[in-house]
Amino acid sequence: MQNLLHNLNPEQHAAVTLPAESALILAGAGSGKTRVLTTRIAWLIQTGQISPSALMAVTFTNKAAKEMQARLSAMLPLNTRSMWIGTFHGLCNRLLRAHYRDASLPQTFQILDSQDQLSMVKRILKANQIDDDKYPPRNVVYFINSAKEQGLRAAKVTTHDPISRQLAELYGIYEQQCQRDGVVDFAELLLRTVELMSSNQPLREHYQARFKHILVDEFQDTNDLQYRWIKLMAGTSSAVLAVGDDDQSIYAFRGANVGNMASFEREFLVRHRIKLEQNYRSHGHILDAANALISNNTERLGKNLRTDAGQGELIRIQEAASDREESQWLVEQIKELTRQGIASNQIALLYRSNAQSRVLEHALFSASLPYRVYGGLRFFERAEIKHAIAYLQLMDNPHNDSAFLRVMNFPARGIGAKGQETLQDCARQQGISLYAAVPYLTGKVGTTLGGFVKLIEAARFETQMLTLPELVQRVLEMSTLIQHYQTEKEGADRVENLEQLVSAAALFIVEEGFPNDAPALLGPAGTAQPILVQGEGIQILDADAALSTLMSPLSAFLSHASLEAGDNQAQVGQDALQLMTVHSAKGLEFDAVFITGLEEGLFPHENSAREPGGLEEERRLMYVAITRARQRLFISFAQTRMLHGQIRYNTKSRFLNELPEENVKWLSPQVRQNWFAPPKSAWDSEPGNAGSASYQTRKEHIPTVIPTNPDGWRTGLSVRHAKFGEGIIIKLEGSAGNYRAHIQFYKLGLKVLDLNIAKLEKV
DNA sequence: GGAGGAATGTTTTTT
DNA sequence: ACATTCCTCC
């Protein structure tokens, strides 16, 4: 046991060995948070305080859950598969599978991902002849998800105007449709579980008594519904260990509520708040800068990182004339770092928004520097995989209309738009699924659709005794998906992906511990029975958390496909530069980090100004970016940048002013922001600047085409306003004689003015 | 049913 | 600027 606690610093030690009561761990960046979490679990088990089945550990991402399981297995000989370690959604999925009847769900309920949810809403809008200009599908989805996050069903949503009344009605129709299809969206997994636990007392008490310890990772990212769920699972007797960092809360835009940390301390009567402030990642200058920056935020629990690593290198800051010159500069610096022996995959290029990656990629490509961009489509989100999954879904639950619609005419089998509409009308009239409505159709459409239904039934019949990978293989053939992509000229990659789906199925069976000869359609395969609560005679049998005890291999695989869309991340092992947004860099670390585009409007992003607390969230984002770096940190910005097809003139980010002078070194000379400058750079007017000689001749970086119009207004024009002072036009909207200008004022920031109204003087 | 052109929307993202 | 999605036409 002693060796578990070996090498922990005093705070870490205190956190790991906390008494069995609720506590908050404020874990700074690079302070060994995951280590504390896993060691805490191992310590609780090894000291005999609890059995592995008496604890639950919750994370946000599958990656984090897997990491925790891996580290735990390395510390103790445990079957982590059967332990309740997983994501919020994954654990709720397990609970709902075990108690599907009490949750009023079919045993084979399926999970809609965001794409499916959006298309379902579009379908509902169409079927109800709702103008989707007035009710954009994305907004409807947002409305539904926010309502669910507040724990509200359609009937409970308060409406105060016709718009919200209509939205609530759509929400109601959506709810019904999901229930009829036997599908749940991501928010529903949470909400359904919360409702199940609040309404079912024996069940609630069972779990509250069972889970003596609940550990929650990244607590600052929890939304209100997730917090409610934790409270329900914990009751009054469980010890909840909430681990998080309010300074790294960067997901308010998707419902995360940092306030949950304060609520947690209050509601769980927390007596122990432990701060992990010893940082094992970054050198001193980097940490000092991060601490200074974040101290500008007012709403903090308070924390200051420290290191033993020494001050290290100063943070380098570079001002470039344009985004292209910024990229050129990056290329030079990267080459230098590589010469110094830093591996490419230890160098990260971070940016605030994805649109910025293009210029960078272009420069890297031209310089033949290998790179990987994080983000983008994941394996299970690819169209061909979604199609294959839809066939599999129909075999498990033919009433899933989303799946039915996706593939009833793919590959094409002559069911046109009209036939599809007839079927949908019929299904709606009868209040049944599309699959069930097929027999009602007559004529040619009826025959063709009947053929499709027969295909699904034949597939189900033929594959009864096959294992999961065999079944997937067979379905790919029967559906003619493989054949379809083989004949398509650009289809080779897709065929390859489909084949990979078979391998993914084989791997899944092994990883989830299904017997490798288990028929895919039969299940649950394990011996443990789900926990059932039946009226009078309450029978609660403990099940472990392994999917193999709860679902058939096929059902389990389908959940997996929705809940774990696959790697979004570029291969870490590859020796290539790592390009990603600051958001996706959270949790990662690199020897050298470049943060690019530190410009007002970009970082902090202009849209954040509209949201309350937006600026502070942007600052936390910058804090996250800075704390990714171990040894070297570079920050750059550009005076002009191509954005949405227009040249933008930006001023340097306010965050640069918040970094202490003693921690930074300006590589470019600091010139006063050049307001009157034309789209020429400070570089041209000041020849001989350090390190710039080689770029001076590259005239192609200097923008020459300026959009103008008959009135003489153009972007980049310097203007004077009687009240606002001097500024520069960064964007023009509207048409000749009717312009609105976005003007970045020197003192007052961005304003949008109507040029017919505002009196502006050209400077 | 697919090719090609117009319209559209561009902060961040996991499940 | 550029990707995606919608729409039209053969």
According to the model, what pLDDT value does residue A544 have? 74
> A196 or A674: whose pLDDT is higher?
A196
Q: Is A529 a catalytic residue?
A: no
A165 touches strand C (CB under 7 A): no
3-state secondary structure of A721: strand
Residue with tokens 């290029």: A349
A247 touches strand B (CB under 7 A): no
Cβ-contact A595, A350 below 8 angstroms = yes
- Reference A682, options A317, A318, A316; nearest CA is A318
User: Does position A624 have pLDDT exceeding 80, yes or no?
Assistant: yes
A418 touches strand C (CB under 7 A): no
Q: Give per-residue pLDDT as tens, A266-277.
A: 999 999 899 999
> A281 or A687: whose pLDDT is higher?
A281
Q: Is A248 a catalytic residue?
A: yes
Q: Give per-residue pLDDT as tens, A655-709.
A: 999 999 999 999 987 654 444 443 333 322 223 333 322 222 222 333 333 444 5
Q: Give per-residue pLDDT as tens, A352-376.
A: 999 999 999 999 999 999 999 998 8
3-state secondary structure of A183: strand
Region of residue A306 (phi > 0: left; psi between -120 and 50: alpha; otherwise: beta): beta
Tokens coding A480: 């003619």
Q: Could you say which residues 415-454 of protein chain A have a Cβ atom less than 7 A away from any atom in strand B? A: 415-416
Q: Give per-residue pLDDT as tens, A131-190.
A: 888 899 999 999 999 999 999 999 999 988 888 999 999 999 999 999 999 999 999 999
Q: Is A480 a catalytic residue?
A: no
Confidence of residue A720 (pLDDT cuts 50, 70, 90): confident
Which one is catalytic: A116, A185, A188, A217? A217
CA–C1' gap, A312 and C3, in angstroms: 42
What are the distances in angstroms from CA A651 to CA A609, A663, A722?
A: 16, 22, 22
Q: Could you say which residues 523-582 of protein chain A have a Cβ atom less than 7 A away from any atom in strand B? A: 563-565, 568, 580-581
Listed as ranges, the nucleotides of chain C within 7 A of a protein C-beta are 1-2, 6
Residue with smallest Cα–C1' gap to C3: A355
User: Does position A420 have pLDDT exceeding 80, yes or no?
Assistant: yes
A358 touches strand C (CB under 7 A): yes
Q: Which H or E element spans position A503?
A: helix A492-511
Q: Is A711 a catalytic residue?
A: no
Q: Is A132 a catalytic residue?
A: no
Q: Give per-residue pLDDT as tens, A488-517.
A: 877 888 899 999 999 999 999 999 999 989
> A204 or A543: whose pLDDT is higher?
A204
Beta bridge partners of A215: A57, A241
Which one is catalytic: A212, A324, A620, A628? A628
A122 touches strand C (CB under 7 A): yes
According to the model, what pLDDT value does residue A129 have? 87
- Reference A51, options A210, A200, A172; nearest CA is A210
Q: Is A34 a catalytic residue?
A: yes
Q: Kindly state the average pLDDT of the residues A622-642.
A: 97
CA–C1' gap, A643 and B10, in angstroms: 10
The per-residue DSSP string of A524-545 comes to --SSSPPPEE-SSSEE-----S
Q: Could you say which residues 611-630 of protein chain A have a Cβ atom less than 7 A away from any atom in strand B? A: 611, 614
3-state secondary structure A325-367: HHHHHHHHHHHHHHHCCCCHHHEEEEECCHHHHHHHHHHHHHC
Which one is catalytic: A116, A185, A218, A564? A218
Percent of chain A at pLDDT above 90?
A: 72
According to the model, what pLDDT value does residue A742 have? 74
> A429 or A684: whose pLDDT is higher?
A429
Q: Give per-residue pLDDT as tens, A372-385.
A: 999 888 999 999 99
According to the model, what pLDDT value does residue A541 have? 56
- Nearest nucleic acid nucleotide to A410, CA to C1' distance: B1
